[in-house]
Chain A
Amino acid sequence: MAEAIAFLPARASVLSQRDNIVTDLARLVPADCLIHEERELAPFEIDAFISYRRVPLAVVLPRTTAQVAAVMKYCHRHAIPVVARGAGTSLSGGAIPQEDAVVLGLSKMSRVLEVDYSNRTATVQAGVTNLSISETVGIDGFFYAPDPSSQLACTIGGNIGMNSGGAHCLKYGVTTNNLLGVRMVLVDGTVIELGGKHLDAAGYDLLGLVCGSEGQLGIVTEATVRLIAKPEGARPVLFGFDSSEEAGACVADIIGSGIIPVAIEFMDKPAIEICEAFAKAGYPLDVAALLIVEVEGSEAEMDATLKDIVEIARRHQVKTVRECQSATEAALIWKGRKSAFGATGRIADYICMDGTVPLGKLSYVLEKTAEIVERFGLRVANVFHAGDGNMHPLILFNANDPEEAMKAEEAGNEILKLCVDAGGCLTGEHGVGIEKRDLMRHQFTQPELDQQMAIRSAFDEQWILNPSKVFPLEGRR
């Protein structure tokens, strides 16, 4: 595997103290919360951005905020890097450790602490999975809105780190719009609370700053999130178009008409074929692009809204319209989309890009993406959240061929630069992590990066929290 992205050099002063550090950590947490045998460390050397791996110095899996605080205080005193980890589902390498780092895994802190329907909040430990919140409150008619594809596994702590989104954020927003408060351990072990069950900050919006900070400002151990009453029903409709341009124009027209569906998902021909072969969702194979548009509400409301949406699609020469009559049909429409990553993984290795572009630039960016990938002699499948411009081109390659892997990475970089040049950004919901770190200069000027890094330093002067990530290694202060 090509090793194009550098990590910070391991601190010799830390590596040489390895045994002492393990001994010290053993005094801070119970024996079953500490992992240091090489064989047991293996699962923690990697995350869902599979291209890079590093064996950490040790892994701590605390059960309480107090234990997290003790570990942080210790690591801070000895300048030992700390990498926070939820479920390790990061697609940008946000949770990949480094040889001199202690991994602070929150997986044992997985309790829902309180559900408060009158105030419409849930307070949970950071290691709770995203889906389990909605599962806990669903029976009472509520849900937690952000729904990243990995929601079965990914944790709220990780969602906060990456400000995760999902398919339904067109209507409900991303994590930062649904997060009311956190309990957080600062780098020196101080425990603070930001926000709570009330709205808005008393002073600076530090909660807004922490959300999406990729584990660089502190360790979130608990979160209070907003619950929403579940709609009576939700129903998708599937449209097939002869060209991606028409599909893109249709999206713009739906939004422009004043209708805000809960989701608008886009798939191009390669993605349709891959998903259909895997999920047998009955997707049309004679179209170039497919949209899944979902609306919510009572039966009468959904009928009325879908009627308007179908009319707009017809103005764009829609070739196939599939409305569903039953929950089974609806589930089938979504099954294809939701299995996109898994289905793609069956036929090839892939890297998933995450740039976001203004809606008006969707068609242009799709066309240029195809050109870029073709130039590298690779294939691409596009599956993404069209309603909010968050593109997910999947670049297919063979990971056993180092040259092809390198090409895939280069093509990905070019696509992300394209997104930035089109007025968008490098990452919509996966985070910068290690993957996009060296592209940050394409989006930001050095003074802008310096300002962000200065603020980062206000939280972590020694830069021990997830230090190899987000900011280019050169030019750090």
Chain B
Amino acid sequence: MLIPHSETDAAYVIRSAVADGRKFALCGGNTRSGFGNATEGAEALSSRGLTGIVDYDPAEMVMTVKAGTPVAEVEAALAANRQMMAFEPMDHRGIMGTSGEPTIGGVFAANVSGPRRFVAGAARDSLLGIRFVNGSGELLRAGGRVMKNVTGLDLVKLLAGSHGTLGFLTEVTFRVLPVPQTVETIVISGLDDETAAKAMAAAMALPVEVSGAAHLPQTVRARFIDGALPENEATVLRLEGLAASVAVRAEKLVAVMQAFGPVIRLGMEDSLSLWREIRDVHPYANGAGRPLWRVSMAPMAGCQLVAALRMEAGVDAYYDWQGGLVWMQMEADPEADFLRGYIRALGGGHATLIRASKSARAATPSFEPVPDAVAALSARVKQKLDPAGIFSPGKMGW
């Protein structure tokens, strides 16, 4: 593994690789390196040698950090000022069976978000600026450190979620938000998947600012917060903010949700644990290594997909993002065409194979294949940033 300790070194290493015809798999702490199609013969090039907080003024709610800085260090610095990353990046170590330190660069390169994503935006929405080395070894900047910026093409969004196939991130600048004073969770018990989707949609239509909406079917319910959730399925809704405000909103939300089923309320401590476990896909962080899919669809379509799949395969699933994010563990090897066919039939979205056996991974495109015209465009975009194709060619399909 190559670990440059400065941007200049990184640029030099990349320029040399172009000259020598070598290829790189870009990474941070390697805790998410199992993502995407395998790239043969690529050497790891890690940003973990580029660390440290460059600039952080809590009053501006903006932080600039070198890409290889551990997420834990960023979170600690933010917590000391009662601030946070609103997009709640998940920790993949549990489900990927990896160890080591996730880096902030990895979070943005993989556009990693958590339960609050459906109201507060994804990692890419908080990302304001980047410094990166392109495939020609040029050190470039994009974006800046202000929230409103439409100066030139938005390469920040393009690089976010490009999984290290377009550029080597060396520094990121992102927006942060205050930590809510308190958190409470409303639990509605006993709803089937479809009713739960309706209940969550009803909650999101109320002016109570729900900041988390997940449905935990019977198969997974007991695996959250040490089995402390009530019997039967649990549909969980999170409220955050000033204590006085949360209390008022909780009353309103409970009044409406009682029509769907019995309701209990969880306090701050249980809520924090529960949403962390939902974020980190705790039920499937079991080391079993059975194929794990992450599906993003319209909120009401998630349960339809699972119902359709269950007619033909063994599927264990739970829902986040008001039902639109489905975490699915399959009994057998992934049948990607079958799954993706249903997604298209149900209005579209995308399925990513997060975890699978080596043979299954070799036979399955990890990321949702896109239509030919979009794939051709994506390949042209990659060619413009990485003309020699040295950054994980094929990892995302091009």
Known A-B contacts A196-B298, A452-B153; the reply to A297 vs B245 at CB < 8 A is yes
Partner of B149, one of A120, A385, A428: A428
- Give Cα A423–Cα B129 distance, bound, in whole angstroms: 11
How far does the Cβ of B131 sit from chain A's closest Cβ, in whole Å? 11
Contact call B148/A174, Cβ cutoff below 8 A: yes
With an 8 A cutoff between CB atoms, is B118 at the interface?
A: yes
Contact residues of B between 96 and 131, Cβ < 8 Å to A: 111, 113, 117-118, 121-122, 124-125
Contact call A455/B385, Cβ cutoff below 8 A: yes
Known A-B contacts A117-B205, A360-B57, A451-B134; the reply to A200 vs B377 at CB < 8 A is no
Interface locus among B21-29, B219-227, B269-277, B366-374: B366-374
26 A-B interface contacts by CB (under 8 A): A117-B201, A118-B300, A120-B322, A142-B205, A196-B349, A198-B298, A202-B367, A202-B370, A203-B378, A208-B157, A252-B59, A298-B245, A298-B249, A301-B242, A301-B248, A356-B147, A358-B57, A358-B146, A390-B146, A424-B146, A428-B149, A430-B150, A445-B140, A455-B158, A458-B380, A459-B380
With an 8 A cutoff between CB atoms, is B138 at the interface?
A: yes
- Give Cα A162–Cα B153 distance, bound, in whole angstroms: 10
- Give Cα A208–Cα B143 distance, bound, in whole angstroms: 13
Contact call B299/A162, Cβ cutoff below 8 A: no
Contact call B146/A356, Cβ cutoff below 8 A: yes
With an 8 A cutoff between CB atoms, is B259 at the interface?
A: no
Query: Which of B60, B150, B207, B209 has the most chain A CB atoms inside 10 A of its CB?
Result: B150
- Give Cα A128–Cα B377 distance, bound, in whole angstroms: 27
How far does the Cβ of B228 sit from chain A's closest Cβ, in whole Å? 29
With an 8 A cutoff between CB atoms, is B141 at the interface?
A: yes
Contact call A200/B111, Cβ cutoff below 8 A: yes
With an 8 A cutoff between CB atoms, is B95 at the interface?
A: no
Looking at chain B, what size class is its interface with the partner chain? 35 or more
What sequence of 0s and 1s flags, for each residue 127-166 of chain B, a beta carbon within 8 Å of any chain A beta carbon?
A: 0000000100010111011111111111111101110001
Contact call A389/B146, Cβ cutoff below 8 A: yes
- Give Cα A357–Cα B144 distance, bound, in whole angstroms: 10
**Residues in chain B near residue A163, CB distance under 8 A:** 150, 154
Partner of B207, one of A186, A230, A255: A230
- Chain A residues in the interface with B (C-beta under 8 A): 116-121, 141-142, 162-163, 165, 169-170, 173-174, 176-177, 186, 190, 192-194, 196-209, 211-213, 229-232, 252-253, 255-256, 258-260, 297-298, 300-301, 304-305, 356-360, 385, 388-390, 423-432, 436, 440, 443-445, 447-449, 451-452, 454-459, 470-471
**Residues in chain A near residue B148, CB distance under 8 A:** 165, 169, 174, 356, 385, 388-390, 428-429
What sequence of 0s and 1s flags, for each residue 361-389 of chain B, a beta carbon within 8 Å of any chain A beta carbon?
A: 00000011111011101101111110000
**Residues in chain A near residue B144, CB distance under 8 A:** 356, 423-425
How far does the Cβ of B240 sit from chain A's closest Cβ, in whole Å? 12
**Residues in chain B near residue A260, CB distance under 8 A:** 177-178
How far does the Cβ of A218 sit from chain B's closest Cβ, in whole Å? 9
With an 8 A cutoff between CB atoms, is B391 at the interface?
A: no
How far does the Cβ of A446 sit from chain B's closest Cβ, in whole Å? 10
With an 8 A cutoff between CB atoms, is B350 at the interface?
A: yes
**Residues in chain B near residue A190, CB distance under 8 A:** 373
Partner of B378, one of A186, A198, A204: A204
**Residues in chain B near residue A229, CB distance under 8 A:** 204-208
- Give Cα A440–Cα B249 distance, bound, in whole angstroms: 47
Known A-B contacts A190-B373, A458-B380; the reply to A258 vs B82 at CB < 8 A is yes
Closest CB pairs A-B (n = 7): A208-B157, A258-B178, A428-B148, A256-B59, A197-B298, A202-B350, A202-B368
How far does the Cβ of B1 sit from chain A's closest Cβ, in whole Å? 26
What sequence of 0s and 1s flags, for each residue 172-194 of chain B, a beta carbon within 8 Å of any chain A beta carbon?
A: 00000111010000000000000
- Give Cα A94–Cα B379 distance, bound, in whole angstroms: 28
**Residues in chain A near residue B149, CB distance under 8 A:** 356, 425, 427-428
Known A-B contacts A203-B397, A256-B58; the reply to A300 vs B377 at CB < 8 A is no
Known A-B contacts A204-B396, A229-B207, A440-B152; the reply to A448 vs B374 at CB < 8 A is no
